[in-house]
Amino acid sequence: MWGNDNYLPVPGEEKNLDADFSNSKAITTEPYNQYENIRLSSLYSEDSSPPGSRPGPYLADGRRRVDYVLTYPIQKPGSVRRRSSRFADNTIIRRLRRSLSMRSSRAPLQPKEDPEVAAQDQQVNYHEDDKRFRREEFEENLLEMGLELEKDEGASISGIGFLKIHAPWKVLCREAEFMKLKMPTKKVYEVKQGSNVVEKIRLFIHKVTTPLHPNVEANRLQSVKPLSHPFSREKQHLFDLSDRDKFFDSKTRSSIVYEVLKRTRCTRAKYTMGITSLLGNGVYTAAYPLHDGDIEGGSSEANDRKLLYEEWASYSVFYKYQPIGLIRKYFGEKVGLYFAWLGVYTQMLIPAAIVGVIVFLYGCATVDDDIPSMEICDPRNNITMCPLCDRACSYWKLSTACGTARASHLFDNPATVFFSIFMALWAVIFMEHWKRRQMRLNYIWDLTGFEEEEDHYRADYEFRVMQKTLRQEHATPKGEKVKLTCTDRMPAYLTTIVMMGFMISVTFAIVFGVILYRISIKAALHISSYPAARSNIRATVKTTAAIINLIVIIILDEIYAVIARWLTTLEVPKTDKSFEERLIFKTFILKFVNAFTPIVYLAFFRGRLVGRPGNYLYVVGSYRMEECAHAGCLMELCIQLCITMLGKQLIQNNLFEIGIPKLKKLMKWKSEMDSQEEEERNRTLERHAKDHFLGPFVGLSPEYMEMIIQFGMVTLFVASFPLAPLFALLNNIIEIRLDAKKFVTELRRPIAVRAKDIGIWYNLLRGLSKVAVIINAFVISFTSDFIPRLVYQYTYSPDGSMHGFVNHTLSYFNVSDFQKGTDPLQPEHLGYKVDMCRYKDYREPPWSSTRYELSKEFWAILAARLAFVIVFQNVVMLMSDFVDWLIPDIPKDISLQIHKEKILMVELFMKEEQGKRLAARDNLNQDNCTASPSANQSPLQPRSRPASHVNTSNC
């Protein structure tokens, strides 16, 4: 947005400096009030019912509903304000423009006043007058568009003025026709439920789960449905207009007014400004539709908002379905689709969570039968391992890793492979289920033929086009439309590429810093003199590193969101839709890299860039790259996923959404009023003033982004953490009610936006589900020991069992081959001299002719791992495509109902046309009968027939 210094100021001698604020207000509002009185009288003469006063979102007469509210700043009573002449004709505009070049010589200062302070004060007054002029012009244009306005300046909240907007019936009809709004007609038809097996199962489930459905009318299955048709003033007889006040609901009325506001322009200034430009420049400070009423207190009237609060936004109904129909009716299709998608996602998590728990319990039940972990825990094997770090670390017994080995089996067992295949198919079924659910909602909400129209231009884009027009005023041919090209945006695109690359590099650098922390803290704990610190080194290092990663992820998430918005603003997208899609894409990339870089490192890189004893890989001088435990890195990957997932859900999703807004509200109340004053305010203020204290609606992107990242956590690395669906399910149960309460009680009512799908988010989900298959294949084959165990059991085991697997995975190292300065400081830490130590790798022993080279077992296992990735990926992808083909995108009963609607609509119009032809034929016969006697009596008057035809048709 651009600053206030872009406005045209009012020169000093054109102001009346002796007028006070009250006089200025009286003068500026006088023409408006006269115009409004005319509108009020005309409205009452048109409607039959007399005006009356009633509580709620209505104008002062108590009859006309407030469809939209604009707020603007006003000077508080008692302060001095310079009065300006009315900015009403072209003469004054020309004088204002001429004054721009003479500003310095036409603003005299007081002799004893600080020149700098006086100049700043004068500049502020110029801008305030300019804003007032623009408001007056904009409001006059709104009146010309047919809207009815009412002002509330300072009566409700000091220093804030409210412009209440009402759309009369004629405006609603006109705009509904322009917007092609589908409205229900008088014609209704019976909705027949599907007769196939799937639909019968669905109806059976619906009957069984009847107690779980909310007690609202909009969510019940309807046996009849009215035909819907785009509203037309010429075909008003098709619609039931017996109650005009309820024909257009509050959501539709506010969206109609918003469309009028977006089309209305201020054109008297240097460049045109719409409502978005006026809001961005502070001419108006807020714009919002009103909530239906209060939600608490026995005196509050029954309304949709109160019903949503009781049946949706309460934690006591967490086990019930959401009232999606009522959500759509109150907030619009876009918000309704988000909560419908969130509900479908949460429902689909139930079977995934159950299977995940079963896999985990299987690991718990078979841990005592796992031969490799039993061999690790058996002290009789007496396997001496090589040091985990240089100098500070000494030799250690493999049996000390018993706990890690047993815990790894909980997540690294044969059931994990089955669960990975299950989750890949689950993701496909979830996407197909959502497509069917979305199509059903499109049918119920009359969106089957809806096509999004081109959106209005954004304020930033209009301003940049205006600047380019002024620069090329003489170079551009007359009549050619000026627009921003790729050349104009090239600096912004280059900035985006550089900044995105830099932010991703920052993420990598921080992950590398955490790696150095793990290496250094491990060495420090090994040389610590405290027994407690030396006893649980691995657990301490893993947990603290995971917590540090979590804190960094949460902090960078907030920073990246700001940077992504800044970069998108630099690109100056043409429309709001383009802005939103670009912002989503940048934010997703940055947050995805931020959340998953530590996890990807643990899964695929840790323990593979190590080297071997005597020839380790070092970074940043003397830092030796860290190794995995003998049971693999899967356990550390599980810990990182668990802490990241739970931490983001508890801290970022819940604490930030609940705690910080409540803290801000508490601090605001403490600074402004005590609790009694606040209660008095809620009791006395009107609806538009109460809604002003609510938070602004910032869009659905943050809500979607939380769930997309969570979906990635659930699907991408599910092979290492089968409890992820369970944690996601528990979080979403809370998240739904938390978001519901936020929408109903803490946010201003959003503009109802029509949408038939969830947009770019579906493509992101589908991409994640495809990538999840590949990542899980690599996790199973390279991160876990599943493939090495299979290769050993069927190739190298003498009896076909897993006995001897641990010894098979360990290589030998002669301690005399340590590099100088890397051998342990305490070589006899175990109580005896060590000549040979073991390390996890497939390498030749020191007595071989190719000592410490990769053995043939390594290459055999690598080939098996790559083969598994190829087979797993192709088999699962094939199964996914088969499921996708098997499940149709459109339910069969919905397809039949849509076809039936088209036939009934054609029949309705055919009957209407037939009726018109019969009426025209009757009129023609009547005219012929009337014209025959006239023709016999006065044949010299051939023009009498057309005259009689006109009179008859009028009658």
- 628-646: per-residue pLDDT in tens? 777 667 788 888 888 888 8
Q: Between β-strands 286-288 and 396-397, what pairing exists: parallel, antiparallel or unpaired?
A: unpaired
Beta bridge partners of 843: 854
Distance CA 36, CA 843 (A): 91
- 580-637: per-residue pLDDT in tens? 889 999 999 999 999 999 999 888 888 888 888 888 888 877 788 888 777 667 788 8
pTM: 0.81
709-712 long-range contacts, CB within 8 A, separation 24+: 709/591, 709/592, 709/595, 709/648, 710/645, 710/648, 710/649, 711/345, 711/765, 711/768, 712/592, 712/595, 712/596, 712/768, 712/772
Distance CA 184, CA 374 (A): 71
Among candidates 134, 105, 116, which has minimal Cα distance to 12?
105
Phi, psi (5° rounding) for residue 189?
-140, 160
Q: Which pLDDT score, from 0 to 100, does residue 169 have? A: 92
Q: Which pLDDT score, from 0 to 100, does residue 30 have? A: 37
Q: Which pLDDT score, from 0 to 100, does residue 469 have? A: 76
Q: Which helix (H) or strand (E) holds 69?
A: strand 68-73
Distance CA 751, CA 610 (A): 56
Q: Which pLDDT score, from 0 to 100, does residue 677 have? A: 60
Distance CA 604, CA 617 (A): 17
Q: Which pLDDT score, from 0 to 100, does residue 607 have? A: 80
SS3 at position 846? coil
* Average pLDDT, rounded, for the chain: 78
Q: Which pLDDT score, from 0 to 100, does residue 622 have? A: 77
Mean pLDDT of 787-811: 90
Q: Which range among 77-91, 142-156, 734-748 shows the weakest confidence by mean pLDDT?
A: 77-91
Candidate ranges 127-131, 163-167, 224-228; pick with highest mean pLDDT: 163-167
Residue 901 binned pLDDT confidence (cut-offs 50, 70, 90) = confident
SS3 at position 186? strand
- What does the H/E/C string look like for 107-174? CCCCCCCCHHHHHHHHHHHHHHHHHHHHHHHHHHHHHHCCCEEEEEECCCCCCEEEEEEECCHHHHHH
Largest CA distance in the chain: 141
Q: Which pLDDT score, from 0 to 100, does residue 732 have? A: 92
Exposure on the CB side of residue 814, measured as CA atoms within 13 A: 9
Q: Which pLDDT score, from 0 to 100, does residue 494 have? A: 93
Buried b (16+ CB within 10 A) or exposed e, 568-601: bbebbbbebebbbebbbebbbebbbbbbbbbbbb
Residue indicated by tokens 């290769």: 791
Q: What is the DSSP string of 801-839?
A: SSTTHHHHHEEEEEGGGPPTT-S-S-TTTTSS--SEEEE
Q: Which pLDDT score, from 0 to 100, does residue 913 have? A: 78
Q: Which pair of tokens denotes residue 851? A: 């000592």
Distance CA 736, CA 343 (A): 8
Q: Which pLDDT score, from 0 to 100, does residue 680 have? A: 64
Q: Which pLDDT score, from 0 to 100, does residue 642 have? A: 87
More confident position, 528 or 736: 736
Mean pLDDT of 283-309: 82
- 423-470: per-residue pLDDT in tens? 888 998 999 999 999 998 998 888 887 777 666 777 777 777 777 777
Q: What is the DSSP string of 671-714?
A: HH--HHHHHHHHHHS-HHHHHHTSBPP--SHHHHHHHHHHHHHH
Give residue 150's identity as a one-letter amino acid code.
Answer: E
- Do 87 and 137 touch, CB atoms closer than 8 A? yes
Whether 800 has a pLDDT exceeding 90, the answer reads no
Give residue 735's identity as a one-letter amino acid code.
Answer: E
Q: Which pLDDT score, from 0 to 100, does residue 862 have? A: 93
CA distances from 149 to 34, 48, 60, 65, 265 (A): 12, 21, 11, 11, 17
- 157-208: per-residue pLDDT in tens? 778 889 999 999 999 999 999 888 888 888 888 877 666 676 777 778 878 8
Q: Which pair of tokens denotes residue 709? A: 């990242």
Among candidates 224, 240, 227, which has minimal Cα distance to 187?
227
SS3 at position 15? strand
More confident position, 834 or 534: 834
Distance CA 925, CA 931 (A): 10
Distance CA 867, CA 790 (A): 13
Residue indicated by tokens 């005299």: 108
Q: Which range among 227-241, 662-676, 725-739 shows the weakest confidence by mean pLDDT?
A: 662-676
- For 244-324, strand residue ranges (E) read 286-288
Beta bridge partners of 836: 814
Q: Which pLDDT score, from 0 to 100, does residue 102 have? A: 35
- Do 405 and 631 touch, CB atoms closer than 8 A? yes
Residue indicated by tokens 């940043």: 620
Mean pLDDT of 295-318: 80
Q: Which pLDDT score, from 0 to 100, does residue 523 have? A: 79
Entry field: residues in the chain: 955
Residue 270 DSSP one-character state: S
Among candidates 698, 687, 456, which has minimal Cα distance to 561?
698
Q: Which pLDDT score, from 0 to 100, does residue 533 have? A: 64
Phi, psi (5° rounding) for residue 386?
-70, 160
